[in-house]
């Protein structure tokens, strides 16, 4: 009797150990599959296999988790392009430009998407904004922030030297003046760039009616084509008041647009 009980307990504990080990392995596998790196890798595989909807689902899952990068938005834009959703492709290329503005592949694909939509790159904003954005287009928000930090630190150092080192005052004022001017210029550029990104939206529908009032039965003022870039100047429930590049204003349904800035 004792021998049978011992055999039974041994089998029971062995089976329990094997079951727990299998559950642990499955749990570890599920965790590995659900990591951002694994999701991104799998989405890339789907893209290479021509499964663009599955790739889009993977990339969008990462954006829903609050993850952002130039490569993520670039791959997402490519997936939408291959899937025939050109407005969403342009939207994500615009987002990618905020991280990798100097990427040649991104510029080529973005321009090609606009050509397919029969659109020209348009700048939304006033003339000073255009000048500043053009000068600092190659710089990201992060790089502008880093430059401002460096200029600020150097400026503080020169101010301290100017106060305590007598012989340094002869030429330090000119340097301080230049640093102050650069700091103001870069700060203004960053402010304009952030403001621009927060205002710009892309038409993702095949066509969008822009109306005189934020009402479904209001008269249509003009139409916007898929991929068109507009400036959002006002928001109300279900509607955006937008400005086209030629300064025409009107109301369009929120469903037809996506803003470039996610947050």
pTM beyond 0.95:
no
* Mean pLDDT of the region 181-210: 87
Mean pLDDT of the residues in the chain: 82
Domain ranges of the chain: 36-116, 127-187, 199-259
Q: What is the pLDDT of residues 57-88, one digit of tens each?
A: 999 999 999 889 999 999 999 999 999 999 99
CA 249 centroid distance within chain: 26
Q: Is the pLDDT of residue 243 over 80?
A: yes
- Phi, psi for 245 (deg, rounded to 5): -60, -25
- pLDDT category of residue 24 using cuts at 50, 70 and 90: very low
Report the pLDDT value the prediction gives residue 205, as an integer from 0 to 100. 93
Q: Which CATH class is domain 36-116?
A: mainly alpha
Q: Is the pLDDT of residue 5 over 50?
A: no
Q: Which CATH class is domain 199-259?
A: mainly beta
Long-range contacts of 174-183 (CB under 8 A, 24+ apart): 179/151, 179/154, 179/155, 180/155, 182/151, 183/148, 183/151, 183/152, 183/155
Report the pLDDT value the prediction gives residue 232, as an integer from 0 to 100. 92
Pairing of strands 239-243, 249-253: antiparallel
Domains 36-116 and 199-259 share a fold: no
């Amino acid at each position: 009797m004792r021998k049978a009980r011992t055999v039974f307990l041994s089998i029971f504990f062995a089976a329990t150990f094997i079951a727990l080990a299998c559950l642990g392995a499955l749990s570890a596998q599920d965790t590995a599959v659900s990591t951002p790196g694994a999701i991104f890798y799998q989405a890339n595989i789907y893209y290479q296999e021509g499964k663009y909807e599955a790739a889009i689902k993977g990339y969008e899952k990462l954006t829903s988790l609050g993850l952002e990068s130039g490569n993520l938005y670039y791959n997402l834009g490519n997936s939408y392009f291959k899937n025939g959703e050109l407005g969403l492709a342009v939207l994500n290329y615009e987002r990618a430009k905020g991280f990798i503005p100097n990427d040649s592949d991104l510029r080529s694909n973005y321009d090609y998407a606009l050509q397919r939509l029969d659109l020209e790159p348009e700048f939304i904003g006033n003339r000073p904004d255009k000048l500043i954005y053009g000068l600092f287009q190659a710089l990201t928000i992060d790089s502008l922030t880093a430059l401002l930090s460096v200029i600020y630190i150097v400026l503080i150092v020169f101010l301290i030297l100017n106060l305590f080192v007598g012989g340094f005052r002869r030429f330090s004022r000119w340097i301080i003046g230049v640093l102050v001017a650069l700091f103001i210029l870069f700060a203004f550029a960053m402010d304009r760039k952030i403001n621009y990104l927060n205002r710009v939206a892309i038409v993702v529908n095949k066509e969008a009616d822009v109306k005189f009032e934020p009402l479904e039965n209001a008269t249509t003022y003009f139409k916007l084509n898929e991929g068109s870039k507009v400036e959002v100047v006002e928001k109300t429930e279900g509607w955006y008041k937008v400005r086209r590049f030629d300064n025409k204003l009107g109301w369009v349904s929120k469903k037809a647009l996506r803003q470039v800035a996610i947050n």
